[in-house]
């Protein structure tokens, strides 16, 4: 049996960093990411500010760790969704996983999808993790196109635009514009519904937000076909 390759000092450093991040998450939950203070965390931990700065050089480094952890957690959640089944089934599974992840920790969700922290810019490696999630989504969206109703004029215009604006779909150079549109609709509409729910904007409306979200997913993966207007009865 081989022993640990880390030294006691390295293990202690990692332990302190882990505790700092937990205190930071608690602070964000109470006051928001923009109010994050390393000095306040140091005081909670019985340390001086300069001592804490040996573990995190500044606020932005700490935020980057938290953002990276959040993106990595969601990317792993997406990666765990089975690739079996039809495109619509995979999109539905991804949507369900997204909502469960967000509802489990709303503050973590808002850290990456809420109001940007003033003066903070995420590094490129964080963007790369986000691209992983979009890649999984695009795989499912590509498998799902052609299963719903025909596109309207607005969707066709967006398809034409996306044919020449696809840099964000890195790794899917051959994905049809309709698949790009499907992935974008999934991302924007479901995050819209989640953001409203988690921010409490449905409070007092008496809605089952899980059913509302599921109905939105159904509309995305199986667009309704035109039907005759209901007959009015007397």
Is 70 in contact with 102 (CB distance < 8 Å)? no
Predicted TM-score of the model (pTM): 0.84
CB neighbourhood size of 119 (10 A): 8
Provide the pLDDT confidence category of residue 32 given band limits of 50, 70 and 90: confident
Is 86 in contact with 147 (CB distance < 8 Å)? yes
Q: pLDDT for 39-72, tens place per residue? A: 999 999 999 888 999 999 999 999 999 999 999 9
Q: pLDDT for 179-196, tens place per residue? A: 999 999 999 999 999 999
Q: What is the Cα–Cα distance from 167 to 208, expressed in whole angstroms?
A: 37
Helix axes 124-144, 59-79, angle to 10 degrees: 20
pLDDT score of 223: 60
pLDDT score of 3: 56
Could you tell me where the DSSP H helices lie in 32-145? Answer: 38-44, 49-52, 59-79, 87-104, 106-113, 124-144
Residue predicted with more confidence, 6 or 186: 186
Q: pLDDT for 63-104, tens place per residue? A: 999 999 999 999 999 999 988 888 899 999 999 999 999 999
Residue 108 has pLDDT above 70, yes or no: yes
Q: What is the Cα–Cα distance from 234 to 229, expressed in whole angstroms?
A: 16
Could you tell me where the DSSP H helices lie in 105-169? Answer: 106-113, 124-144, 153-162
For the chain, the farthest-separated pair of C-alpha atoms sits apart, in whole angstroms, at 82
């Amino acid at each position: 049996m081989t022993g640990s390759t880390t030294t006691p000092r390295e293990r202690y450093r990692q332990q302190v960093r882990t505790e700092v991040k937990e205190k930071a998450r608690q602070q964000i939950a109470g006051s928001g990411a923009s109010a994050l203070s390393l000095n306040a965390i140091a005081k909670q931990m019985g340390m001086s500010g300069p001592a804490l700065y040996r573990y995190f050089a500044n606020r932005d480094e700490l935020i980057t760790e938290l953002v990276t952890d959040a993106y990595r957690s969601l990317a792993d959640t997406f990666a765990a969704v089975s690739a079996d089944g039809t495109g619509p089934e995979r999109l539905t599974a991804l949507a369900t996983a997204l909502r469960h992840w967000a509802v489990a920790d709303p503050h973590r969700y808002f850290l990456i999808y809420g109001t940007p922290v003033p003066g903070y810019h995420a590094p490129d490696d964080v963007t790369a993790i986000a691209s992983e999630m979009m890649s999984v989504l695009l795989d499912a969206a590509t498998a799902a196109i052609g299963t719903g109703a025909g596109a309207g004029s607005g969707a066709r215009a967006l398809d034409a635009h996306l044919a020449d604006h696809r840099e964000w779909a890195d790794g899917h150079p051959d994905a049809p514009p309709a698949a790009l549109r499907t992935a974008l609709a999934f991302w924007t509409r479901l995050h819209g519904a989640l953001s409203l729910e988690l921010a409490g904007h449905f409070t007092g409306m008496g809605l089952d937000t899980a059913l509302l979200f599921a109905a939105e997913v159904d509309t995305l993966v199986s667009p309704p076909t035109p039907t005759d207007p209901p007959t009015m009865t007397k």
